[in-house]
Chain A
Amino acid sequence: MSAPSQTTALSSHGVADAASDDWKRYLLLFLIGAALSVAQFLMIRDFVSILYGEEVVIVLVTASFFFGLSVGYVVALRLSARWFRRLFIVSIFLHLTFPFSYRWLAAWFASWDAGGVAYLSLLFSYAVIFNTVFAMFLPRLVSLPDDERLSAGSRLRRYYGLELAGFISGFIIIMLSWNLHLTYLLAPYWVILGAVLYLTLRRPLLTVCYGVLAGAAIYGLDILDRQSTALLYMYKHSMTLPTVLYSVNSPYQKVEVIESRSGTRYLYLDGLQNLNSTDLAALNYFIAEVPAQIIKPRKTLLIGNGTLSSVAKVYPHSGAVTSVELDGGVLEAGKRHFTPIESLAALENWQLQVDDGKHFLRRSQEVYDLIIVDVPSPLTIQEAYLHAKEFYALCRERLSDGGVLAVQLSGPLQRNDRTPARVTAALRAVFPEVMAVYSDRADRGFAYASTRLPFTGEQVRATVADFEPNLEVIGPDQVDGYLTEAVPMSVNALDLVLRRGLERFMDRYF
């Protein structure tokens, strides 16, 4: 258990001398690649969730990851072997505090109302802790002066090739952990780091210490995960005594269900509130139940609505209902905490497809009388596409004559170029008739679009009279008057994602 001698176990670059054991060096680079892959995923997902997941934030966090790598490349050959070892040991042990330590710090910053500089410092500091040491390995090993058997080019080819192969393996580990508890990702990650620690320093005692701490961290992972997430929601989202009911990384986003002390349940996607159980009833009422109740569709298509909460609202009025949701993680959250699957099991004419909405529409040969698009506000490029005229054109192709498309507008339709007007303009670019309503109870606007709307504003008001007597309705003949400043959302006009994202980010932190 004694520390290996400087001459036999450590090269002048601080990485264990594996000259006689090429396979150990190869294995080390492979594991570094896997670790980098998982680190990238963990860091981007968690920090996007902490800072709230607009596309602007996703890009910022991704850029910070590459910043961490650049720092690693800058110092890779400048550090002495001793400093490299010290930094390496500190970094590896700090990895055992992920993701809790930065959640605690973010919650602490929120508790004293820290500004954007504090959060950005946190992000970039952790980017360095996450990646810098890993980025140092490849240049150090390629530049080894003590490996006479291979040219630098050959070393680069082998080492970088193995690091990339490791990166692919790390990506496979990530894919296997999707929609599962964090343990399924962190446990293999920490095992990989343990192997990297041993292969780099060959210090059994240190590796055993690391293993014991990693084991303890895995044992307490569930509690630590829930506690640190709850703290974040308590301080950063200003919730009173939140309980974390569900938290997974889906292939697309971080999916969390949080319950407040009053019993209200919230669905958060990448840290952005998607809906809560109080508003959900009003949202479902206007986007699904009202049009279904009036037109009595033979076939209804629900795109999005991962909580499946609209199904029971439209089903009594429809001959058949098809739900299409992309994210299995959101579906699972919906089944467990918003719409028990038993309540849908008896619906014989309902089917669920896990698919991308536009992909489904392109492949489908069916014609629907009602298509409901219940997706988050256009704050990322993927979400924005589902509010663009190209997507609405796909919907129109699958609508029957006089069929209706129902969407939510995120806010009230006004004469400006904000989200509701841009989305309505996109609808108007595709459909001859668009009606907009604004509900105080739902705290948002909705639009109904068709080639020939089968109902009038008066019919809508009469239908909702008991639910909301003073519903604001903007009829098809009035809508264009609200769109004079609005450019339709389209693949060629997604500037809203950038503009709105920046506005929200600056408002929130600066």
Chain B
Amino acid sequence: MKQLNLFATYTGLHLAIMQFSYFFVLLINVTSTYVTYATIVIAWMVGTIAGLMITRLPAGAALLAGVVSYYAVFAWVLVDPLAAYTLPLAAFGVAITGLWAGRFFMVMLPLFERADRLFFHENNGFLVGVIGVFVGFTLLGLAFLWWAPVVSALLLVLHMRWLHTRHRYAELRLFRNPSLSPQR
């Protein structure tokens, strides 16, 4: 159970890194008007809701798709920050990243069995992430925005892989959906 708690905490941390990295990337390269903030918040929530609803999304695929879309958005805003469709495109990317924020809870609930513990550990990780992103970005600048998401995602994937092979958690297969019990 300790390993699962750690995984949930670490996922919270990763989600905070992704969400705030998007914010800083858009703030620096596009605009810091409230539209940017609103875009990220709403798109993230929509992505999370979609992640809750899409039952056939493997855990690893949801996680990695989020990281890939982050770098795609990052590259795009460097290429054409002022295009009219930059923010809608970014919103789409944020929503893709938000998928894991929803999918994570569906994947982990059967392993945790209790929603309170699951939310508790994920939330603690997010809290640490909020502080970590601020410290990391102010001290490391763009290097943090470039490296933190991918490093954090890779560590999470390794942890997921380890949990799957060592503890036989079928829910944590990277790219194959676990056989779901019929949902009532």
Tell me the A residues contacting B by CB distance below 8 Å. Answer: 55, 59, 62-63, 66-67, 69-70, 73-74, 76-77, 135, 138-139, 142-143, 149-154, 156-157, 160-161, 164-165, 167-168, 171, 175, 178, 251-252, 326, 355-356, 358-359, 362-363, 381-382, 385, 390, 490-495, 497-498
Contact = CB atoms under 8 A, between A and B. Distances in A.
Nearest 4 CB-CB pairings of A with B: A492-B141, A251-B34, A73-B120, A139-B116
B24 interface: yes
A363 B82 contact: yes
B27 to A, nearest CB: 7
B147 to A, nearest CB: 13
A252 B35 CA distance: 11
B32 interface: yes
A494 B141 contact: yes
A156 B52 contact: yes
Contact of A492 (B114, B135, B142, B181): B142
30 contacts: A63-B130, A63-B131, A66-B124, A73-B123, A74-B120, A77-B116, A142-B115, A153-B110, A154-B184, A156-B109, A157-B52, A160-B52, A160-B102, A160-B105, A165-B45, A171-B42, A175-B34, A251-B37, A355-B31, A355-B33, A359-B33, A381-B134, A382-B32, A490-B141, A492-B142, A492-B143, A493-B141, A495-B138, A497-B138, A498-B135
A491 B114 contact: no
Interface residue SS majority, chain A? helix
B126 A66 contact: yes
A491 B142 contact: yes
Contacts of A67: 127
Interface in B19-41: 24, 27-28, 30-34, 37-38, 41
A382 B24 CA distance: 9
B148 interface: no
Contact of A161 (B52, B116, B124, B184): B52
B48 interface: yes
B71 interface: no
A498 B134 CA distance: 8
Interface string B149-184: 000000000000000000000000000000001011
Given A70-B123, A491-B142, A492-B143, 10 more contacts: A66-B124, A138-B119, A142-B109, A151-B183, A153-B106, A161-B102, A175-B38, A356-B32, A385-B32, A492-B140
B28 A491 contact: yes
Contact of A138 (B27, B42, B102, B115): B115
Contacts of A161: 49, 52-53, 102
A150 B181 CA distance: 13
A59 B32 contact: no
A62 B130 contact: yes
Contacts of B137: 381, 494
B139 interface: yes
Nearest to A386: B32
A157 B115 contact: no
Contacts of A358: 31-32
Given A73-B123, A138-B119, A493-B141, A154 B34 contact: no
A495 B143 CA distance: 14
A157 B113 CA distance: 14
Which among B37, B52, B53, B110 has the greatest number of chain A C-beta atoms within 10 A?
Answer: B52
Given A67-B127, A70-B120, A363-B82, A153 B109 contact: yes
Contacts of B24: 381
Nearest to A384: B138
B142 to A, nearest CB: 6
A59 B134 contact: yes
B131 A143 contact: no
Which among B31, B49, B134 has the greatest number of chain A C-beta atoms within 10 A?
Answer: B134
